[in-house]
Structure 1
Amino acid sequence: MSGKSALIYSPDFSRYSYGAEHPFKVQRYRLAYELIQAYGLTRIPGVRLCQSRPIAEEQLLTFHSPDYLAQLKEFSTAEEPRADFRYGLGDTENPVFKGVYDWACLGTAGTVEAARLVAEEGYDFAFNLAGGWHHAHRNKASGFSYLNDAVIAINVLLAKGKRVVYLDLDAHHGDGVQDAFYDSDQVLTISLHESGVYFFPGTGFENETGAGKGVGYSVNIPLLEHTDDALYMKAFDEVAFPLIAAFDPDVLVTQVGADTFRTDPLTRLEITTHAYSYIIRKLKALQIPWIAVGGGGYDIMNVARAWTIVWAIMNGIDLPPALPSSFIKIIRPLGFPHKMLLDAMHWADEDDRNRALDAVEKSVAAIKKTIFPVIIGEYGQTSGK
């Protein structure tokens, strides 16, 4: 591989607001970038720091409906609060604020630029911090997501004849991306997430395996609350990794949400930096051109630590566990107690863990029965490129 990597970042990522009481805080982008800089990770040979290029509406229309885009654009310029629940706009989940269309376009453009750099300029890795809006649907905002950047960028890759794996590590099911490619055999979607039985968005079960040509190309591993590092790695190792290796895509697109972490206020998984780092290292070892996009995370220090780990591993850097003193000076006035990049491994209580283990084993068995014959049977058992 060429050794070229691109980090997509703009100060404008943090210049909008969902509202003081909303759990999604745009300051996460600045904090993640500050930690990446504090470790010196923007000054590595082969690294390029990029901003988004303007995105054309015709690119958005490769997924989103014209009427939805028109409504989002109109609401974005309004001086007074607006709402249209047909499109999921204006409720407490997906507030409409001035400039929301421009802000959503900015993040989407970053993921499209990452796809261009990988597909056209031979970059090995590109990471858009402000991507990962996996809940947006064709004509509806959902789950804090207004435009589905991953779908639009994958459409760019498909137009260039690329086959793609989309891997979603967010605690919430990547429903918008799954739906977009549910009948396609050119995109293999894999999502590890907290079970939708009692958790948003209420989808992502093992029997959601695709339709038409896409049967066998949608893979879901629903996890019970208290799933810890060992169980998360087991699910990845027994399902996601062999499927990615067998499918052997031209491009890997990974949503790297940090809301799986055990201290996230909105979720009930118990992942630490140990499992997160382990999975990112195994993906790097596949040597597949790789686009990473942000995603969830509602403890913004978790987000900063997680995405710094992603960027470091992409670039082959082992980081010291202590946070840089320059970064501690930034976070101390904000009241953050964190002093370390890495967490100690955590084990759930025995009864909770046994229930979570049973759920993982059930999912693995179901997927091996329904998905493996399609993907591994079609493409053959491989160990990657």
Structure 2
Amino acid sequence: MKVLFLLLQISFLLLLTSCSGKATEPSSKPSTNDNDQSTEQEEASQKEANTDSVVTKEPITEQTSSKTSTETTSNDDVQRAFPVVDEIPAEYLTKRTDHSGSIETVTYQTKDYFGDGSEITKKAYVYLPYNYDEAKQYNVLYLMHGIGGSEDEWGMNNDLSLVKIMMDKLIYNGDIEPFIVVTPNGRSCADFANTSADYNSFYIFGKELRNDLIPYIESKYSTFTDFKKDNYYLAETRDHRAMAGLSMGGMQTINIGMCENLDIISYFGAFSACPTTNTSTQIADKLKEFPDETIHFFYNICGTEDNVAISSASAAVSSITDLTDKLDDSKNFIWQEVSGGHDFNVWYLGFYNFAKIVFNHN
């Protein structure tokens, strides 16, 4: 009996150890508590995400950074093809002094789609890879901000931008092929510069995206769309176009990019998709309107301590691969949960992982 009792004690201790070993330390940065971010909270998260404490994280080895647990993604096959990480390697958060890309500010004409349809001028930022060459063709990622942010929220407006730093390193190290990143303002209204403007203007951004933003960006820069043709079709180059975003921008990626514009976009990345995001059932139903279009990849991430978005982000992916044949968790779908809140710790990680996946479906 003593031996049996001792064995039971040892088994119980081993069980406790294995359970506690699965947890990671929660983020030290605050998460939001409202239905989505306030302006002050998003700006605070942005400032924190650009501090030295983020850029100078303890490095982790490539072996550790490439390791994916069965809890992180849904299937061994997709894990091997696209090894997402739970922390950005410190090397990729250190600014390069050579082989560095550039950021340009552009303005384009669009309309007040939420109002009277009058002509308005909007601004966006564009990341161009190092040694950008007009003789080559580049894929394009449209990267969206949150409800309290603007085209500046991702910080892609100067050389200290973490998006730019990560892109420069990923390209230099040969992890990805060079591509263009665009950060526009997601409010399709005349009052777009007002971060407290009616949030409903976010939901009609698809008109601006299709009619104005994509045509402007992809005619100005060297992309796969041939605007010299009398009749160009964005659908012909959908393989070379992606959309991603944080919080409200994650909602736009799913509701607008995937569910309304699947004919012209084929890669999607949602980072902490906000509470008004379509559920799995809604997504699957809307995808029926695109019987011939494939989804090359759908990547999702959310913090487990995110009391703003964890429910909505989870609802968008729960059973999605059972509801539509366009998504297969062994080929083109990843749902990643990490310790963290509704902040840039999760969103920059989401960008890093998605940047390594996007345009690599082959």
| TM-score bin (small chain) | 0.3 to 0.5
- TM value normalised by structure 1: 0.31
Q: Which has the larger radius of gyration?
A: 2
Q: Which has the higher helix share?
A: 1
